[in-house]
Chains A and B, each alone.
Chain A
Amino acid sequence: MSARKGRWVSSFSFLLFWASSIPRRGSARLLQELSPQEYFGSLQAGRASLAYFSRNASPGAQPFLEQIENSAEALQDYGISVVKVNCPKEDVSRYCGKENTLRKAYLFRGSMLIREFPTDALFDVNSIVANVLFALLFNEVKYVETLADLQNIENALKGRANMVFAYVPATGTAEHRAVMEAAFVYGTVHQFVLTTEATLLRDTGDDEPDVASARLLFCHCQRATDLAQPCRRTAMGQALTMLNIHRHLKLMGAPLVTEVAEDPEKVSTVHLQLGLPLVFILSQKETYEADRRTAEFVAWQLLGKAGVALLSRDLVDLNILLKSNVALKTPDEGVPVKYLVLEDTDEVITLVEDKSKVGQIQEEEEEEEDEDEKQNNNQDIQDDQVVEAVARDKKRELPLEQILVLTEETFHSALLEAARTVVLFYASWEAVSLAVLRSYAEVADHLKGTQGVSLAQVNCWDWPGVCTKENVTQFPTIRIYEKGERWVMYDGMWGTEELTSFIMLSRVSCPLKLATIEEAEGYLRGEFPSELSSYHHTSVLGVFSMATSEARKAFEEAGNILSGHVTMGMYFEDDALALSRKYAVSPPALLLARSGGQSVEGIALSKQSAQDMVRMIRYELLDVFPEITVQNLPRYLQLRKPFLILFSDGDIGEMESKEMLKLAKGRPRQAFVACWLNLKKTPVGRGVLKVYFATVPSPPLLLWVNLHAGGRVFQFPSEQTVTEMNVLSWLERLKAGLESPSSTLSEEDWKPPLPAYDFLQMMETAVPEVPLHPSHRHGDTPVPKSPGGDTTVREEPSQETKAEKGGSPGRDLRGTAPRLAAREKQGKRHSEL
């Protein structure tokens, strides 16, 4: 017996090999065909064989024969040979003689018959392997039917060995086979117990066992010290396959907590090798005992999901360790160890469970639940990027020397001092205001020494009277006051460059009356007025004959609206006609000079209202084939058209640029926005691509993005070259619905990122006598979790434990950050000094 076992165990590595890559060998060759004499003569002591007897293939046995043949290979791995014995016609011996024996298979060990199987019990490979091993491993795998049997076995094992308890809905199944195969390997290490009785599951703590699915539990009986208590159990979460069982048993066999004394980056344990994360509990000499208990507590919770190691700070010299109490190493290569500060053991567990979730695709429902739970813990953590960024920057002193600080008293007098005063109205407690204030300081620095412009700020939290009187209701607001009288509101991007340019352009009246034809020409070349010559801008020149005063008025009005965003000039002298003739327009008309007058475009003015003119000028200012940036996207979004966008890593090639420009200028210009994006300049484009593609193809990438209708994204075939013709025909195919989208933009609404504190419910729970509402909900409102209930939590080696002990409750100051108070978990309240 023991010799056989030894052999079996040694075949373990082979078994694994088999299990992971089933070798395809000709199965026919493995099935021996022997005569009865040959067969019985060849039987060796201790060697198992499965035989069936056949007299000329009877037709009914044919499918059975096939299955036997197929299983021969599998059984050979366990040292079991499969033999077909051909009975001679005249043979009437024990196995060949009777008709019914021919419908059975016989399992021999040596020459001893172990069991006979009716052929209908051997319907496929799984059932053959399962049943054969089941018969052979009679001692290693106990079959139980009652709870008492199970408990007897369990009690007998306590303190000696561990138990593997498996439930399969029926024998002869794939799961049954997997359990038997595992038992073949581990049968000497652990006691295997098998049942097909679902009632036994109920005892394992599973209230609503799913009777239809097999389950496997590892019962830690070896460690069991208390005979009265059942052994601790760890259920296997995955499906019952040989590999999963092997993995599970391997994990159960690993030490509960590994003690390490080296750089976590270098540590490797069985968990990491099996693709599970490893959690380090960072310990120190003083708290070693408590830390060890915490580690064990965590390890039990994470058994089968992650490994736990106890890392001594004293032995490892890592700076980072001082700040954290937990580290997480993931099996993914190249991912650095993460160091964290966690408050209680629940967080460690959540951390691991969340991580492992990333790898597996789980049901959405489950995920949501988890998320909710996680979110509840994070309610008090800032998730507003602007607020958090400003908070992190608050210690830095802003260079505000260039900016006048105005008060209720000085506001009006200060406005009279400079020709133009830019005023930022803000509130010193408001994050967006403070973010803009930082850009404003940069603007002030850019404009240092600029004549006729002074920059000022009013803190509406200090001086609400000024802001109310100026009818400033929102923060931040920027206005440019001219000599304290009329003002223009800044309505552009809250950015340094944009604001600087706005201020500079506003210095020149809009529209600017040009007196001579030389001035008008200079204006179109961008040389006049000289203060703007260094600013890259597009000039709009309105040319009017004396008669077109109505259009001129509308143009002037439009100028007021567009002031700061564009430079507008107008010319209506006698020789306006000369100018219009030169550019082949007839007044009233607009001349548009892009980038320093290299090209001048003439547009006839047909619409007369100022609003129409504003709209038209805005539209004309858009580039034909723009480079999309964070700053300019909104201008193109307003067209509400699909985007044909070329993502490029750096500048786009000349060829593509030319073809795209042709496309942009072509007939379908009205239908879409042709543009490109420089990933070097606008790196967030990479983020966009990552959302579109699971694996991002290498740029250049031409995409059709329908932002406004349906949100579908199509990729221009990368094997085609970007030419006008190719793209146009591709667009035709898109229109015809012949292409499938690479991605569809999420339609999800913007919901609250996290729940709020439910004070109403807290009040009802705490003060139920207050008849807050029609009483029906009293019963089912859950009692809020008492904070810090778990004693293990306090054994957490994190340093806050110490703070908790050290600080007497009265020492805290009310009104300091709640985190400070959070240290005392039970003490919700504390008074001021």
Chain B
Amino acid sequence: LSLALYAGSLCAASSAAFLYHDYCIIGAGPSGLQVAYFLQQAGRDYIVFERSHAPGSFFALYPRHRKLISINKQYTGKSNSEFNLRHDWNSLLSHDRRLLFRHYSRDFFPNADAMVHYLEDFASMLKLQVQYNTAIIHVTLEKDEQAWNGHYFLLTDQDRQNYKCSSLLVATGTWVPNVVNFPGSEYVEGYETVSINPEDFAGQTVLILGRGNSAFETAENILGVTNFIHMVSRSRVRLSWATHYVGDLRAINNGLLDTYQLKSLDGLLEGDLEDLAIVKDKKGKLHITLRFYLENRNTSAGIDSIILPQDELDNFATRAPYDRVIRCLGWKFDFSIYNRSLRLMPGKGNKKKYPQIKPSYESRGTRGLFILGTASHSVDFRKSAGGFIHGFRYTTRAVHRLLENRHHGVPWPSTVYPITQLTNSIIKRVNEASGLYQMFSVLADIILLRENATAFEYLEEYPVGVLAELETQTGRRAPNGLFVVIMEYGRNFSGADKDVFYYNRAVGEAQHAWQSNFLHPVIYYYKHLPTEREMKLRPPDWPLPRPDAVHHIVEDFLTDWTAPNAHVLPLRRFLENCLSTDLRNFFAESCFFFAFTRQKLPPFCQQGYVGMQGLLGSEGLRRHAVEAGLLEDYAPRDFSGDKTPDSREGSQDQLLRDHAIPVRPLQHLVNAKDE
């Protein structure tokens, strides 16, 4: 008895007592583990709750046919690890090079089991604090002025254990299957449970509801053995190569489009699923009809009394009966566990499967509640990659940096450079940064100018939607203007109905770079940090409000933006004109000349030569510069030139400009080829 009493009191005590952590993370999927990694690296007090016994439970079941559509590119021809992440869509970010996905699968489209394995290793090798078999079933708030956000989050698990946290990071993904209810929907099988053995579909006629990757993946699997497959959904099919959105239908799954358009009995139909009804006949065949017909009849009557559309319209498209109907309508966020006080609301329109959040990934309703991973996709739904591992690994890092600044006084990491490194630092980032590339138009590098533009501070991958709050969110100051480095597709290039292979789609010349269509770097210049209001009033489809100046680096077939004339030179001119200075490099000899002939020196000479780091250059380079007319040779053999006063007069700077009459050797090469 006493034992029982003891046990009882313990139980009571434990349900009353809260286990406290600064950070609670719900879900040990990719984003939950990713944020756990950053918190662990920063030495924060955190815990991850996972309802399953292992991480990545979603991937243990889905995708049903086990083929991930995130690419796992083994080779890029480059050794740059940051650059290579641009083509590795499965790895999470960590310092451990063993935890790269290519060590887990050699397939370009890997098996989902590899992901499960990878996530297990990620959690265990990095010793992340994950509490498995803990399903959080309720979340509520406790007001407390001492708390970071004015309240604590109280979490309850399936065993009535309570947890108290200062900050709640929701990384549960979207796992609740979307269902539609219409008469006869009980005959519909769900993607979650439908057989994946093609044998089971031999000689059958199948109707699939939905038009996403899961629907096509299901169709692809049984394409070869069915009589025919029809697919119904409300909207037309969106092909990812037309929309540049990885969540739209991927080429790897679209075999049915091929057979449809090549007249092989399969087909696509458009229609609202809500209007649908299914009736089963005596032979067990499923007939499609419309809800409208069912509502107007006597419910007690048998199947024969039901009017089918083909009775009135004898060429009705889906008049043939089906053997099976499969629902593949995707998933939505689980809103059920959050107390009303958290005001976690679904989004509007096609974003209703996601909770409403700000561009900083914080819930609109509750301060201190952040949504991570797939569930945070409302920020860039159908635009960028925030709903996928290769995107949210970066947005998660951004959220972590916001938290570090907000709660621990650790400002956003930044590097201060002299202004002479401005062009270089941008070129370096746009060429290798993966976060900018994956999360195009969402994450941006920010360059904060110091007074008199002699130096600048470089911040990486800041969520551009909260640009107006930059100073409070990062702990960095922006009083002297800033550049925003971001990547964009051409504004009118992508779209479900766009022809993305039209002739002359690519821009080759730097001067027309603003018309670039493929993903390319864009640099915005603001003299002052944009205000909230300006952010709100920005033109639709613009990631940012109107800048004081903007520069596009022309799209490049190799995404290699290091060409000195086509990429670097126009960028330098842009930066120079924004800052009203001269950012050219000079050999020491030129700096010497300027030191004796001008009262002011260009930044490169001031910061290099005068600081005793002049670029002397080899004799060969000096000769090239002289030949190019960019450096004057005063050596005595040139002395005859001195006697004709007109020929060599003027300062060297004039000379630098006067080399103007260009000899363009390239042309002759071209011409020679053509002749």
A675 → chain B closest CB, angstroms: 12
Residue from A390, A749, A753, A772 with most neighbouring chain B CB atoms (10 Å): A753
Contact: B614 with A634, CB < 8 Å?
yes
The answer to whether A474 touches B508, judged by C-beta atoms less than 8 angstroms apart, is no
Is there contact, CB below 8 Å, between B625 and A688?
no
Given A385-B585, A814-B508: A439 and B602 interface contact (C-beta under 8 Å): no
**B-contacting 9-mer, from A60-68, A111-119, A731-739, A757-765:** A757-765
- Interface window among B64-72, B116-124, B208-216, B590-598: B590-598
Whether A829 contacts B504 by the Cβ 8 Å rule is yes
- B646-A358 in contact (CB<8A): yes
Confirm or deny: A202 has a beta carbon within 8 angstroms of a beta carbon on chain B.
no
**Which residue in chain B gives the minimum CB-CB distance to A762?**
B514
**Is the C-beta of B301 less than 8 angstroms from some C-beta in chain A?**
no
Q: Which of A351, A687, A707, A750 contacts B603 (CB 8 A)?
A: A750
Smallest CB-CB separation from B415: which chain A residue? A473
Stretch in contact with the other chain, from B103-111, B134-142, B425-433: B425-433
- Residues of A close to B609: CB separation below 8 A: 634
Find out whether the CB atom of B550 lies under 8 angstroms from the CB atom of A829: no
**Is A383 on the interface with B (CB-CB < 8 A)?**
yes
Task: Determine if B564 is an interface residue (Cβ-Cβ < 8 Å).
Answer: yes
Whether A831 contacts B503 by the Cβ 8 Å rule is yes
Cβ-defined contact, A832 with B565, below 8 A: no
B421: chain A residues at CB < 8 Å are 474
Q: A494 with B613: in contact, given A341-B663, A435-B618 (CB under 8 Å)?
A: yes
A751 close to B613 (CB less than 8 A):
no
- Cβ contacts B512-541/A at 8 Å (1 or 0 each): 111100000000000000000000000100
B557 at the interface (CB under 8 A from A): yes
Are B587 and A386 closer than 8 Å at their CB atoms? yes
Q: Contact at B674–A806, with CB atoms within 8 Å? A: yes
Residue ID in chain B nearest A772 by CB atoms: B546
Kindly state the separation between the CA atoms of A695 and B645 in the bound complex, as whole angstroms.
Answer: 8
Asked if B646 and A496 make an inter-chain contact with CB atoms under 8 angstroms apart, the answer reads: no
The answer on a CB contact under 8 Å between A382 and B661 is: no
**Would you give the 0/1 interface string for B573-600, flagging 1 where the beta carbon is closer than 8 Å to chain A?**
1101100111011111110110111111
Main secondary structure of the interface of A (DSSP, over half): loop
Q: Are B510 and A380 in contact (CB under 8 A)?
A: yes
Within 8 A of B (CB), among A581-625: none
- Mark contacts of A451-473 with chain B using CB atoms, 8 A cut-off: 1 yes-contact digit, 0 otherwise: 00000000001111100000001
Asked if B620 and A830 make an inter-chain contact with CB atoms under 8 angstroms apart, the answer reads no
Bound-complex Cα distance A752 to B422 (A): 14
Given contacts A803-B670, A823-B670, contact A439 B506 (CB under 8 A): no
Segment from B54-62, B348-356, B634-642 that makes contact with A: B634-642
What chain B residues lie within 8 Å of A749 (beta carbons)? 580-581, 600
Minimum CB–CB distance from A453 to chain B (whole Å) comes to: 21
B-contacting 9-mer, from A75-83, A235-243, A545-553, A740-748: A740-748
A463 to B97, CA, bound (A): 13
Asked if A378 CB lies within 8 Å of chain B CBs, one says yes
Taking a contact as CB atoms under 8 Å apart, the answer to whether B634 and A685 are in contact is yes
Residues of chain A within 8 A of B588, CB atoms compared: 493-495, 630-631
The segment from B76-84, B176-184, B313-321, B376-384 found at the interface with A is B76-84
- Report the tally of A-B residue pairs with Cβ distances under 8 A: 373
- The verdict on A91 contacting chain B, using a C-beta distance below 8 Å, is no
In the complex formed, the residue of B with least CB distance to A393 is B624
Interchain CA distance A343-B558 in the complex, whole Å: 29
List residues of chain B with CB within 8 A of the CB of A22: none
User: How many whole Å from B247's CB to the nearest CB in chain A?
Assistant: 26
- Pairwise interchain contact B599-A755, C-beta atoms closer than 8 A: no
A662 within 8 A of B: no
Q: List B398-428 residues whose CB lies under 8 Å from chain A.
A: 415, 417-418, 421, 424, 427-428
Q: Which of A253-261, A302-310, A424-432, A533-541 contacts B (4 or more CB under 8 A)?
A: A424-432
Please tell me if A374 contacts chain B, counting CB pairs below 8 Å. Answer: yes
Residues of B within 8 A of A705 (CB): 596
Q: Are A439 and B617 in contact (CB under 8 A)?
A: yes
Please state if A751 and B582 are interface contacts (CB–CB under 8 Å).
yes
Known: A378-B662, A383-B657. A809 touches B581 (CB 8 A): no
**What is the bound-complex CA distance between A431 and B503, given in angstroms?**
35
Mark B625-650 against chain A: 1 for CB-CB distance below 8 A, else 0: 10110111111100000101111110
Cα separation A262 to B554 with both chains bound (whole Å): 46
User: Are A385 and B616 in touch, CB under 8 angstroms?
Assistant: no
Chain A residues numbered 314-337 whose CB sits less than 8 Å from any CB in chain B = 323, 332, 334-335
Which residues of the other chain, B, contact A711 by a CB distance below 8 angstroms? Answer: 598-599
CB pair B552 A759 closer than 8 Å = yes
B557 touches A707 (CB 8 A): no
Q: What A residues does B617 contact at CB under 8 A? A: 386, 389, 435, 438-439, 494-495
Does any Cβ of B come within 8 Å of A812's Cβ?
Answer: yes
Question: Is A491 in contact with B612, judged by CB distance below 8 angstroms?
Answer: yes
Q: What are the residues of chain B within 8 A of A814 when measuring CB–CB? A: 506-508, 555, 557
**Would B667 and A341 count as touching, CB distance under 8 A?**
yes
A757 touches B625 (CB 8 A): no
Q: Which residue of B lies closest to A429 (CB)?
A: B562
Within 8 A of B (CB), among A797-813: 799-800, 802-803, 806-807, 809-810, 812-813
Let me know if B568 is at the binding interface, CB within 8 A: yes
B668 interface residue per 8 A CB criterion: yes
Smallest beta-carbon distance B461→chain A, Å: 15
Q: Given A431-B564, A814-B557, verify A757-B628 contact (CB < 8 Å).
A: no
Q: How far is the CA of A432 from the CA of B617 in the complex (A)?
A: 9
**Interchain CA distance A536-B550 in the complex, whole Å:** 53
Asked if A752 and B581 make an inter-chain contact with CB atoms under 8 angstroms apart, the answer reads yes
B659: A residues at CB distance < 8 A: 383
**Of residues B417, B508, B551, B611, which shows the largest number of chain A Cβ atoms within 10 Å of its Cβ?**
B508
A388-B504 contact, Cβ under 8 Å, with A380-B511, A494-B616, A631-B588: no
Minimum CB–CB distance for A161 against chain B, Å: 39
Chain A residue nearest to B655 in the complex (CB): A687
Looking at the complex, which one of B621, B644, B671 makes contact with A393 (CB distance below 8 Å)? Answer: B621
Q: B573 contacts A745, CB within 8 Å?
A: no
Q: B572 — nearest CB in chain A belongs to which residue?
A: A384
With both chains docked as a complex, state the minimum distance between the C-beta of B633 and any C-beta of chain A, in angstroms.
7
Q: Tell me which of A694, A696, A810 contacts B642 (CB under 8 A).
A: A696
Whether the pair A828, B625 counts as a contact (CB closer than 8 A) is no
Q: Among the listed A359, A388, A630, A772, which residue makes an inter-chain contact with B628, where contact means beta carbons less than 8 Å apart?
A: A388
When C-beta atoms are compared, the residue in chain B nearest to A359 turns out to be: B646
Shortest distance between the CB of B59 and any CB in chain A (Å): 28
Question: Are the C-beta atoms of A802 and B627 separated by less than 8 Å?
Answer: no
Nearest B residue (CB) for A441: B618
Q: For residue B421, which residue of chain A has the nearest CB?
A: A474
Please determine whether B634 and A683 come into contact, CB atoms closer than 8 angstroms: yes
Interface check A667, CB cutoff 8 A: no
B80 CB to closest chain A CB (Å) equals 6
Considering the complex, give the chain A residue whose CB is closest to the CB of B663: A341
A408 to B95, CA, bound (A): 13
CA distance A431 to B675 in the complex (A): 34
The residues of B that contact A385 with a CB separation of less than 8 Å are: 584-587, 590, 625, 628, 630-631, 656
- In the complex, chain A residues whose CB is within 8 Å of the CB of B656: 383, 385, 753
CB<8 Å pairs between A and B, sample of 26? A332-B646, A340-B663, A341-B664, A379-B570, A380-B569, A385-B656, A389-B628, A390-B621, A634-B612, A638-B610, A683-B633, A684-B593, A687-B634, A687-B652, A688-B597, A752-B581, A757-B513, A771-B539, A799-B671, A812-B508, A814-B557, A817-B565, A819-B670, A820-B508, A823-B667, A831-B505
A382-B564, A389-B631, A461-B428 known; 9 new pairs, CB 8 Å cut-off, are A432-B615, A493-B588, A680-B636, A683-B633, A759-B513, A760-B550, A817-B565, A819-B666, A831-B506
* Residues in B lying within 8 Å of A, measured CB to CB: 78-82, 415, 417-418, 421, 424, 427-428, 431-432, 503-515, 539, 546-547, 549-552, 554-558, 562-566, 568-570, 572-574, 576-577, 580-582, 584-590, 592-593, 595-603, 609-618, 620-622, 624-625, 627-628, 630-636, 642, 644-649, 651-652, 656-657, 659-664, 666-668, 670-671, 674-675
Q: 5 nearest interchain CB pairs? A: A495-B616, A429-B562, A752-B576, A385-B630, A386-B585
